[in-house]
Structure 1
Amino acid sequence: MTDPILPGNPPIVLLMRRSARAKRISLRISQLDGRVTLTMPAKLAEAEAMAFARSKEAWIRKHLEARGEDVPVALGAEVPVGGQMLRIVPGQGRRVQIGQAEIAVPGAPDRVAVRLGAYLKEVARDRLAGACDDYAALLGKRYGRITMRDTRSRWGSCTSDGALMFSWRLIMAPPEVLDYVAAHEVAHLAEMNHSAAFWAGVERIYGDYQAPRKWLRQNGSDLHRYQF
């Protein structure tokens, strides 16, 4: 079955979903990938749901425009690294090199996204491990392994046995944002909750966390627009 489309410039593909729990028609736009989901009660006619979507077209386009377009990672594109926008240029030798305004990626053009993604994951692991070491020492706790993932629903996590997980895309954010997420997850080694005691622990090992936390809420979804 082909997904329905709202015609226009550009056309908007709708992911139509029927739900036995839904009492009314609803629309949701993912800030991560721009997917527009149209949910409707199980027995509702599809034509009625589409009429609802057409009535909300201006709202849909406004929110999609605010989100911005996805950015394919390739030569000539710009990507954020440490909060700074860098243009991807051809590189020499075997390693990725970061300059003040450019990031040079060697190898075939069709391998740029894979090479750069692998490099950023390596740098992210190194930076996050160093930050976690520092914050764990301040907290007086030890953590277990660190893993890097490309998570969509969270920037980090801490398990009951002290294993830490982070989104490698944090390396694209400003350094203070990466450090805040590291401190946040390390603080869970002492408090596996978001109680007042937990936030006091974050502040004790990191300092005032409000600015990086706000940056992540307002800008974090943009980091997922870069398609590696």
Structure 2
Amino acid sequence: MIPPSGSSSVRPAQSLPCSIAMPDGPVPVEWRRSTRARRVSLRVSPRTRGVIVTLPASATTEAGLRLLRTHTGWIEKQLQRRAHTPRFEAGGRVPIDGADHVICHTPHGTGGAWLEQSEIHVSGDAAFIPRRVTDFLRRLATRKLADRMTALGARTGLMPAQVAIRDTTSRWGSCTARGRVMLSWRLVMTPVFVQDYVILHELAHLRHLNHSAAFWALVDLLTPRRHEAERWLKLHGAALLHAGAGHSVD
């Protein structure tokens, strides 16, 4: 894995464990030193399912060890959520609009990847399946989510200056001060009412670029199923946000 800009791997030391014991077995730990980080942090990698501990330039390794050892419960919870991440492989189940679709390897077919009722067919070598499914879902999301954004924008009178479908694993959407709305392509896997909630949430930011009481009042006005959508995302969102990680490039 290539460290992000401003980060570098911490040279292994006897005091820094390369793994941490968890109920289902040891989990790898990667240590990084970052000149940009302001505090010690840890996260679960979407690609390796390991834990990454990031240390600011001035932080001690002992601070990282303390954070790691006192957050095993949090790590276990994150790993459990990601255990349900759809796998882009033959026989895997991938939701589209919340409904499961089975990935079928069709080696002699043509067209890369395509839908047939409740199946996603993928041609070519089996090694191509993860990338082709990812590319297919991203193209589908670009069309469906942009169309839904246009429809909801016209209905509410809140029209973004620009819409971008991006490959993000940390958030479903965002809105800039210039009116540019970004959505994660992974949103196409969620039920339509969840898609509408995320889109309308971002459209509400065109009027209130904050999370003030006025913003939430507008969100409630626009999305009567807000709390249902938030519960759905809390239960299933983490797993979907990491689907296809490592197979898509912006």
Query: TM-score scaled by structure 2?
Result: 0.72
What is the rounded CA distance, in whole Å, between the counterparts of 1:61 and 1:135 in structure 2? 38
What amino acid is aligned across from residue 63 of structure 1 in structure 2? K
Match of 1:4, SS state, is coil
Match of 2:148, SS state, is helix
Q: Which residue of 2 aligns with 1:30?
A: 44
Aligned CA-pair RMSD: 3.4
In the alignment, is residue 221 of structure 1 matched against residue 234 of structure 2? no
In the alignment, is residue 170 of structure 1 matched against residue 187 of structure 2? yes
What amino acid is aligned across from residue 207 of structure 1 in structure 2? P
Q: Which residue of 2 aligns with 1:196?
A: 213
Query: 1:31 touches 1:221 (CA, 8 Å); kept in 2?
Result: no
Q: Which has the larger radius of gyration?
A: 1
In the alignment, is residue 4 of structure 1 matched against residue 17 of structure 2? yes
Name the CA shift for 1:147/1:18 in 2 (closer, same or farther; >3 Å).
Answer: closer
Give per-residue Cα distances to partners, 1:138-194, cap 9 Å, x unaligned.
222322221111213321111122111110000111121111111111111122122
Match of 2:29, SS state, is strand
What amino acid is aligned across from residue 11 of structure 1 in structure 2? P
Residue in structure 2 matching 1:158, options 158, 165, 175: 175
In the alignment, is residue 94 of structure 1 matched against residue 111 of structure 2? yes
Query: 1:14 touches 1:37 (CA, 8 Å); kept in 2?
Result: yes
Report the alpha carbon displacement of residue 123 of structure 1 after superposing the two structures with TM.
1.3
Q: Which residue of 2 aligns with 1:105?
A: 122
What is the rounded CA distance, in whole Å, between the counterparts of 1:194 and 1:45 in structure 2? 36
Match of 1:226, SS state, is coil
Report the alpha carbon displacement of residue 58 of structure 1 after superposing the two structures with TM.
7.0
What is the rounded CA distance, in whole Å, between the counterparts of 1:108 and 1:86 in structure 2? 20
Query: 2:45 touches 2:52 (CA, 8 Å); kept in 1?
Result: no
Report the alpha carbon displacement of residue 224 of structure 1 after superposing the two structures with TM.
3.1
Counting only pairs closer than 5 Å after superposition, residues 55-74 of structure 1 correspond to structure 2 as: 59=73, 62-63=76-77, 66-69=80-83, 72-74=87-89
Residue in structure 2 matching 1:16, options 25, 31, 41: 31
Query: 2:44 touches 2:78 (CA, 8 Å); kept in 1?
Result: no
What amino acid is aligned across from residue 4 of structure 1 in structure 2? P
Q: Which residue of 1 aligns with 2:7?
A: none
Query: TM-score scaled by structure 1?
Result: 0.78
Query: 1:138 touches 1:205 (CA, 8 Å); kept in 2?
Result: no
Match of 1:153, SS state, is coil
* Structure with the higher helix share, 1 or 2: 1
Q: Which residue of 2 aligns with 1:80?
A: 95
What amino acid is aligned across from residue 160 of structure 2 in structure 1? Y
Q: Which runs of 5+ in 1 are unaligned?
A: none
What is the rounded CA distance, in whole Å, between the counterparts of 2:223 and 2:182 in structure 1? 18
Give per-residue Cα distances to partners, 1:91-136, cap 9 Å, x unaligned.
4331633344421122332222222211111111222112211221
Match of 1:135, SS state, is helix
Size of the aligned set, in residue pairs, is: 222
What is the rounded CA distance, in whole Å, between the counterparts of 2:210 and 2:62 in structure 1? 44
Q: Which runs of 5+ in 2 are unaligned?
A: 1-10
Query: 2:112 touches 2:124 (CA, 8 Å); kept in 1?
Result: no
